[in-house]
């Protein structure tokens, strides 16, 4: 798993451990995983990123970003309705967002 040089991590929240575990398993199946954002200063100060509960992942080097998103949903959604995986909408067309949000996923 690779973190871009600009990625800042102040602390790893317990809620992010299952995300990192799932990414490690995904990467072990011969896929690259690059974290492009975590607790960086470019995110809203009141959001999940700033609080360390969300990461962004590079998708342009994924042969099938939808498959990556589905893998993460399958791994995380059974654990809690607070996990969210976003990809393919207007705000997440060039990266995948994975996080543990305070609001419950519907």
Number of Cβ within a 10 Å radius of residue 44: 9
**CATH code at 2-100:** 3.30.1380.10
Q: Is the dihedral of CA 29, 8, 11, 72 positive or negative?
A: negative
Counting DSSP H helices and E strands in the chain, the numbers are 2, 5
pLDDT in tens, the chain (106 residues): 999 998 989 899 999 999 999 999 998 888 889 999 999 878 888 888 888 999 999 999 888 999 999 999 999 999 999 999 999 888 888 899 999 998 887 7
Domain boundaries along the sequence of the chain: 2-100
Please tell me the pTM assigned to this model: 0.90
The DSSP-derived string for 5-23 is TT---S---GGGHHHHHHH
**Radius of gyration for the alpha carbons in the chain, expressed in angstroms and rounded:** 13
Task: Give the largest Cα separation in the chain, rounded.
Answer: 35
């Amino acid at each position: 798993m690779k973190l871009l040089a600009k990625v800042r991590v102040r602390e790893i929240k317990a809620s992010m451990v299952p995300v990192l575990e799932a990414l490690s398993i995904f990467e072990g199946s011969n896929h690259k995983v690059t974290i492009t954002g975590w607790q960086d200063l470019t995110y809203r100060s009141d959001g999940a990123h700033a609080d360390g509960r969300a990461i962004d992942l590079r998708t342009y080097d994924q042969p099938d970003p939808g498959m990556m998103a589905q893998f993460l949903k399958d791994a995380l959604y059974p654990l809690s309705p607070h996990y969210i995986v976003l990809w393919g909408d207007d705000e997440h067309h060039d990266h995948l967002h994975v996080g543990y949000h305070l609001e419950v996923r519907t």
